[in-house]
Structure 1
Amino acid sequence: MPTIPNNTANLPADWWRSAVIYQVYPRSFLDSNGDGVGDLPGITSKLDYIAALGADIVWISPFFTSPMKDFGYDVADYCDVDPLFGTLADFDRLVARAHALGLKVMIDQVLSHSADNHPWFVESRTSRDNPKADWYVWADQKPDGTAPNNWLSVFGGSAWQWEPRRGQYYLHDFLASQPDLNFHNPAVQQAQLDNLRFWLERGVDGFRFDSCNFPFHDAQLRDNPPAPLRDARSVSAVNPYGMQAHVYDKTQPENIAYLQRVRAVLDEYQAISIGEIGTDDALAAMADYTSGGDKLHMAYSFNLLTEEFSAAHIRTQVEQFEAKVADGWASWSVGNHDSVRVMTRWGGQQPSPSLAKVVLAVQVALKGTPCLYQGDELALTEADLPFEALQDPYGIPFWPQFKGRDGCRTPMPWVAGAAHGGFSTAQPWLPVPPEHLERAVDVEEQDGDSPLRFAQNILAWRRTQPQLLSGEIHFFDAPEPVLAFRRDLPGHRTVLAAFNLGTEAVTFDWPAAAQAAELTGHGLPASQQGAQITLPAHGGWFGTLA
């Protein structure tokens, strides 16, 4: 196996705080071999696009060997590439090209569960006394034959599946084909640390940890109590999973010590991490998991991935996180492969492309590391797919009340006039919506006022503003839908920022010192007269205190 140096050795220790992450969903980015599914060579061929956008880190969703029942988040071999996506040699070429462009490579790791055809589980399920018997979470049935407790699967129904070969139930927080590993077993912990090392030796610069608060469960298997307030943020409102307070099935205290072991391995390679946290009090878990400099580098939750869209909501998320953590760090994400695209979620059925601009401007101005999802820079909307086109095992049983995640996973449109938007020469695994063609990359690259051009400009501009990269944040009281705050960094002028999240013009009077000078270069429309700022629909303004 080649040992490839990563791309962080000569950077400041906290370089990731000022970085921008760009998420690539491999199945839908670019198909290089005409089978209708995106692949690693396809990603490699478009790394120039990502670099030109202004991203620093490429987060690549799972490409490991998998039965693809959950499209790669069910791993059958943690140390190999699924043939659907290419080979290990293809991955090595991707890393080399990314590093040549100055990009860092972050890959997904699904630590808490595997696929049911992983050799570990194939052995574990055969008996109660084999060498892997305790590598997964097994439990006896109740006297009446029912499941060991009331825990639910995120994807619906009981989190327990009966296994006749052992005469026991096994735990699965997601699909029944995704059995949970038993992290109370030290051998399991070490095996997953070894898997991290495999990719670190190949030059990976960091990891995004999927469901990073799920590895440990309550060893006593106690029932979860009812939720005092139903969770409709991290799961669909029609999913009974949100009716429980998830006290015992995840976010256990033992997870802290394991994340410290993970961080020790990462530090050996100067690699970084970001964790996905879906839990009842996600902001508290984000704080716990990122504080102290000995666990995750940064984390994100689903709190900005819901339909709640207001200045007050965004302010509340940031202020509550800042209040809970002294030295931790957030990554503010408004879109990913699990959520309805932000343009539709926050803009409705006919959103203005200007919404994409102001949302991105807010992301890059908040204190934290922005994480962008492929296609959001084009202002892509959620695809409305017919039932027969659905692929997502989460969405199919809940349809039509919840249509699953396919609508945000449709292929990237690269060339408006090409078959399937230039994504593939074959029929793609999900169709390319016709309305996405008018937002194709080649179209937006030719339009100086497009969301793509705005994204390139504001990400480049952000690099010139150290206050936005690492300054403290303090919010001002402002009338809805205005979000207003300041960013303070010792040795630099205070930066003021105000954004109109609404569709009507708003005039806003700064409650702070009026002697503010407008910063130019960000590209949002606004006008200033003394302390008074007029923000058109989806407008924004940056200034510095004199």
Structure 2
Amino acid sequence: MTATAAQTAPATDLDWWRGGVIYQIYPRSYQDTSGDGIGDLNGITARLPYVASLGVDAIWISPFFTSPMKDFGYDVSDYRDVDPMFGTLADFDRLVDTAHRLGIRVMIDLVLSHTSDQHPWFQESRASRSNPKSDWYVWADAKPDGTAPNNWLSIFGGGGWQWDVRRQQYYYHAFLTSQPDLNFHCPEVQDELLDVTRFWLDRGVDGFRLDTINFYMHDKELRDNPALPPERRNAKIAPAVNPYNHQEHLYSKNQPENLLFLKRFRELLDEYPGAAAVGEVGDAQFGMELLGEYTRDGHGVQMCYAFEFLAGDPLTAQRVAEVFDKMQAVAPDGWACWAFSNHDVTRHVTRWGLDAQGARCYAALIMALRGSVCLYQGEELGLSEARVAYEDLQDPYGIEFWPEFQGRDGCRTPMVWEPSNVNGGFSDVKPWLPVASEHLGNSVAAQETREDALLHHYRAVVALRIGSEVLRKGDQLDTQAHGDMLTFTREWQGERIFCAFNLGGEVCTTHMPEGEWQFIEGVGGMDPRKGTGGISLGPWQYTLLRAA
């Protein structure tokens, strides 16, 4: 498939990403068609009519590149090919073509900060200190006593440096030892990664999710990171048991030179009208500030994937108001891509202890917030976090920190399509991770026949957002918490929508803005109390009102 394939993509609004809804697919766990218990690209293609029924703008497919799979595809050994377990490049081309015919854009997960240690680039780089790729990775001499060059840590636990006997030097790895970091200070590395980006754009993709976008650059001087005081530590990025939380990562990531590379990346992206990127900002202390920097003035990515609503803390009305107050203070022109669940965190239904009413309320909330939206496969079914026995664990993160942290397998178990067998319609053989038995009753087929199913509610609130310019692109004003009641107003080109959400278990009452308001049909909640200027909502109820 050539560059002309990109022209077949949905082409109505080139700013589709602004307020767009993106559906994340974890390919290992979506649909197996090859009979090996692992999902594949043809499985995604087969299920695209279902995705289209959700009404989303785009899909984001987690990595499917050639890989030894020590971190399940986030350790790439060939950026320009498909791992055989997922299919072929021809299968990918069919996926893109089918998605475009259904009006769905395709975004893929680019992991640029590091590769697999089996990538030919690293194999050449480690061979000597004088080969053409000798500086493509972050190499450094040992200290005089033989210890690592500095105190940088790995997010997967332990030190971030690994001794290599071939070069008699250490290489840096922010993640697994088998995931050496690329050296973005080397111009040839940047050029090659931009060429990889062009390869997929020419193949027809509509954009990218950029993994760990703030990890690209490191401090050239390799200065030690300072200690982080206990009161500033949190488990937003890494679990509390991980010593990674004990440092302020001033020098191992978040470097100002990163903006120069992102400018080059955006210039390439802009050659393909309608192409967009969302960057994952992995930082517990400065995530919102980086979001503002990386999406500013068209010089970076269009949106950044924020972790504020992926943390373990309960998402209270006060918490939402604080996040938007901070964003207004440090990133007023930034554009977030909000998510409640993804492939790295406990599913939010479990994380926040939500019942069916609560799940409906939060589904409507994320569709009403300023920013774009990422939904994670199975979220629309209300899937809970699966309990995976230790002997079934696959995630190296969970194996390392078990049992205090049980890893990411519980949110990665296979999608459930129908309830008639133990594999939920995902595969005819034993899946790579067991299907949670408690998920079967929430399968797609089971919910399609129930009028009150959460799946239908997701379709309704996605349709509301997609059909409303004010919810997609409008400003968000006067975000306030009144106990458990969250209120704000969205405004766009003279249109106003007042939003109120009761994020608690008791009846809440609050005042409304002055003026005449009309209830928006199909969203739910309760009408404003007539003649009082107030609004009353029961537990987990919400209402959206349009200014008359």
The TM-score range, normalised by the shorter chain, is over 0.9
Cα distance in 2 for partners of 1:482, 1:399 equals 37
Cα distance in 2 for partners of 1:491, 1:535 equals 27
Q: Deviations over 1:179-228 (max 9, x none)?
A: 00011000000000000011011100000000001111000000000113
Cα distance in 2 for partners of 1:78, 1:143 equals 37
Aligned twin of 2:327: 321
SS of the aligned residue for 2:339 comes to coil
Aligned twin of 1:426: 429
Matched, 1:72 2:77: no
SS of the aligned residue for 1:179 comes to coil
AA aligned to 1:517 is: Q
Cα distance in 2 for partners of 1:99, 1:240 equals 45
Structure 1 position 303, deviation (Å): 1.4
Q: Deviations over 1:394-415 (max 9, x none)?
A: 1111011100100000000001
Cα distance in 2 for partners of 1:512, 1:84 equals 56
Structure 1 position 469, deviation (Å): 1.3
AA aligned to 1:295 is: G
With 4-13 and 210-219 compared, the bigger mean Cα shift is at 4-13
Q: Deviations over 1:296-346 (max 9, x none)?
A: 000022211012221111121122123323433111111100000000011
Cα distance in 2 for partners of 1:178, 1:213 equals 16
With 60-69 and 410-419 compared, the bigger mean Cα shift is at 410-419
SS of the aligned residue for 2:345 comes to coil
Structure 1 position 7, deviation (Å): 4.9
Aligned twin of 2:534: 532
Matched, 1:161 2:162: yes
Q: Are 2:418 and 2:425, in contact at CA under 8 Å, matched by a contact in 1?
A: yes
Q: Are 1:291 and 1:326, in contact at CA under 8 Å, matched by a contact in 2?
A: no
Q: Are 1:34 and 1:425, in contact at CA under 8 Å, matched by a contact in 2?
A: yes
Cα distance in 2 for partners of 1:353, 1:389 equals 29
AA aligned to 1:452 is: L
Q: Trace 1:478-489 onto structure 2 (pairs within 5 A).
A: 478-489=481-492
Matched, 1:175 2:181: no
Structure 1 position 488, deviation (Å): 1.2
Structure 1 position 231, deviation (Å): 3.0
SS of the aligned residue for 2:423 comes to helix
AA aligned to 1:537 is: P
2:348 aligned residue (342, 345, 352):
342
Q: Deviations over 1:116-173 (max 9, x none)?
A: 0000001111111111111100001111111100000000000000001110000000
Structure 1 position 521, deviation (Å): 1.7
With 311-320 and 379-388 compared, the bigger mean Cα shift is at 311-320
SS of the aligned residue for 1:18 comes to coil
Aligned identity (percent) is 51
Aligned twin of 2:404: 401
Aligned twin of 2:2: 2
Structure 1 position 8, deviation (Å): 5.1
Structure 1 position 520, deviation (Å): 1.1
Aligned twin of 1:491: 494
1:294 aligned residue (291, 299, 322):
299
- TM-score, normalised via structure 2 length: 0.96
Cα distance in 2 for partners of 1:330, 1:231 equals 21
Q: Deviations over 1:24-52 (max 9, x none)?
A: 00000000111100000000001111111
- In structure 1, runs of 5+ residues without a counterpart are none
Q: Are 2:10 and 2:103, in contact at CA under 8 Å, matched by a contact in 1?
A: no
Q: Are 1:215 and 1:250, in contact at CA under 8 Å, matched by a contact in 2?
A: yes
Cα distance in 2 for partners of 1:179, 1:422 equals 37
Cα distance in 2 for partners of 1:365, 1:56 equals 16
AA aligned to 2:138 is: V
Aligned twin of 1:391: 394
AA aligned to 1:292 is: D
Aligned twin of 2:281: 277
AA aligned to 1:204 is: V
Aligned twin of 1:503: 505
Q: Trace 1:88-103 onto structure 2 (pairs within 5 A).
A: 88-103=89-104
Q: CA RMSD in A?
A: 1.3
Cα distance in 1 for partners of 2:484, 2:346 equals 22
Structure 1 position 534, deviation (Å): 2.5
Aligned twin of 1:203: 204
SS of the aligned residue for 1:43 comes to helix
- In structure 2, runs of 5+ residues without a counterpart are none
1:365 aligned residue (363, 368, 379):
368
1:380 aligned residue (358, 364, 383):
383
Structure 1 position 385, deviation (Å): 1.0
